[in-house]
Structure 1
Amino acid sequence: MKLRTRFARATAVGALVLLTPALTSCGMDFATDKVYTPAPGANDRSERVDVLNAVIVATADGSGTLVTTLVNNDVVQAGEPSGSADRELTTITSEGGTVEFTGPVTIKAAGHVRFSNDPVTSDRDGIDLPGIRVTGSFKIGDFVPVTLQFNEGEPVTVEAPVVPNNGHWACQDGPELTPNHLDEYAHHEPHTVTCPEPAGTTEEAIQADADAEAEANADASGTESE
């Protein structure tokens, strides 16, 4: 797999080192003592659909979970039919690796789709889907090229950093957390925590979105008939 220089090296000089506070992303008061430099996810805003904060969260080298948010910037223009500005994510690939994605996934006009194992749900304009499994020859600290193809426009490739399944990203790649530096020093084994259930599975999320749209259309029809 074609990889960029390890981001740990890229941020080693001149980086601001922060102490991670108690874990809140999984709804647990689980503190981590690891001191590290937070690395933002990869972003691309070159096409109609923005790819935001893309990372691969990995418990160990060689496999992980792709977490990202896709935002559709198009809106339905006056006189155009409903759905005309929707966009579809058709494929996700990674050079030299395998991405377990089954498409297409629709990103509605002015809406978003979040791939994440976070228990917090998106707002009414978004849909939550589970994080996407990725395997390959990457290691924690690498940058992995991930290409997203939509039904319109050019393919979008982002260099997603591979981050440990701990701290801010804990539970995104399952309940077995990546040991932090103090764990390794004390010869601790990777430890398992109880992760909250994700906001929704693929089938549940899609059905809930369809139900919400049907209810909104019914309300609109009722208002027009009055």
Structure 2
Amino acid sequence: MPHLRRSALAGLLLAVVPATALGGCGFDYPTDRVNTIAGGVNDRSGDVDALGIRVLATAQGEGRLIGSLSNNLRETASLDAVSSSAGITAGAFEPVEVAGRGTVNLATAAVVPLTGDFTAGDVVPLELTFSDGTTLSLDVPVVKPCFQYTQVPTDLPSEDRSASAKATDGEAADVAAEEEGDEAHAEETGDATFNCADQAPEPESAH
């Protein structure tokens, strides 16, 4: 008789444990959640997802927008404007078209030049406006052209270059001397704003 009781108890435990384990599971599995590994900021609230958005600084106060745009619509959409409340201006660029259900890599497909009061290491507010009227407000990190970012073209349109590039010969010489002095000062003070030596490479998938 005790043997039968033990067998019945074991059967009851086998029946209860799976039910308890299943009862603890929900529908929001971690593996079902979106996980975009990137060094930038993501926003999926609009019809066009902004993924891994960063500003690649090519010099003090000068750079370009990089990251990816992914269109959730069946029809073509486009990034029409980039603006900021922090004194950052986007230079002239053609609307960046994203095919329906398609993706565009801003680092290779389009140049959106930016100028203003920013440098590597900053986080700047940007507004991305799309053809459907949606505007995404993002706090975007500014990165320096190190490691994997050296593969991104940094040649900006001539009209968007800094004032030093447009100076006369005499002014250009003054600017060059000033920049040389700044570089020397940076070496003395250990300013690593654009120094790549102290920055570890990011995974290749972070582009």
Unaligned runs of 5+ in 2: 1-36, 156-193, 199-207
**TM-score after normalising by structure 1:** 0.49
Describe the shift of the 1:107–1:92 C-alpha distance in structure 2 as closer, same or farther (beyond 3 A). Answer: same
8 Å Cα contact 1:62-1:136 kept in structure 2: yes
Unaligned runs of 5+ in 1: 1-37, 76-84, 118-128, 183-226
Q: How does 1:1-226 map to 2 (within 5 A)?
A: 40-75=39-74, 85-95=75-85, 96-117=87-108, 129-172=109-152, 174=154, 178-181=194-197
8 Å Cα contact 1:165-1:173 kept in structure 2: no
| Whole-angstrom CA distance in 2 between matches of 1:107 and 1:113 | 6
Deviations 1:174-194 (A, max 9, x none): 38xx43246xxxxxxxxxxxx
| Whole-angstrom CA distance in 1 between matches of 2:57 and 2:118 | 10
8 Å Cα contact 1:87-1:109 kept in structure 2: yes
Describe the shift of the 1:47–1:135 C-alpha distance in structure 2 as closer, same or farther (beyond 3 A). Answer: same
8 Å Cα contact 2:93-2:111 kept in structure 1: no
CA RMSD of aligned residues (A): 2.7
- More helix as a share of residues: 2
Paired amino acid for 2:69: L
1:131 match: secondary structure: coil
| Residue 186 (structure 2) aligns with | none
8 Å Cα contact 1:72-1:109 kept in structure 2: yes
The CA deviation at 1:55 is 0.7
Paired amino acid for 1:52: L
8 Å Cα contact 1:43-1:51 kept in structure 2: yes
| Whole-angstrom CA distance in 2 between matches of 1:134 and 1:160 | 12
Deviations 1:91-124 (A, max 9, x none): 111221111242333211101222114xxxxxxx
| Residue 164 (structure 2) aligns with | none
Larger RCO, structure (CA 8 Å, separation 6 or more): 1
Describe the shift of the 1:111–1:167 C-alpha distance in structure 2 as closer, same or farther (beyond 3 A). Answer: same
| Whole-angstrom CA distance in 1 between matches of 2:153 and 2:124 | 16
| Whole-angstrom CA distance in 1 between matches of 2:128 and 2:57 | 20
Deviations 1:37-80 (A, max 9, x none): x97101100001000111111133211121121110123xxxxx
1:170 match: secondary structure: helix
| Whole-angstrom CA distance in 1 between matches of 2:45 and 2:128 | 12
Paired amino acid for 1:70: L
Q: How many residues align structurally?
A: 125
| Whole-angstrom CA distance in 1 between matches of 2:73 and 2:79 | 14
8 Å Cα contact 1:41-1:52 kept in structure 2: yes
| Whole-angstrom CA distance in 2 between matches of 1:91 and 1:180 | 31
8 Å Cα contact 1:58-1:173 kept in structure 2: no
Percent identity, aligned pairs only? 32
Paired amino acid for 2:53: A
Paired amino acid for 1:48: D
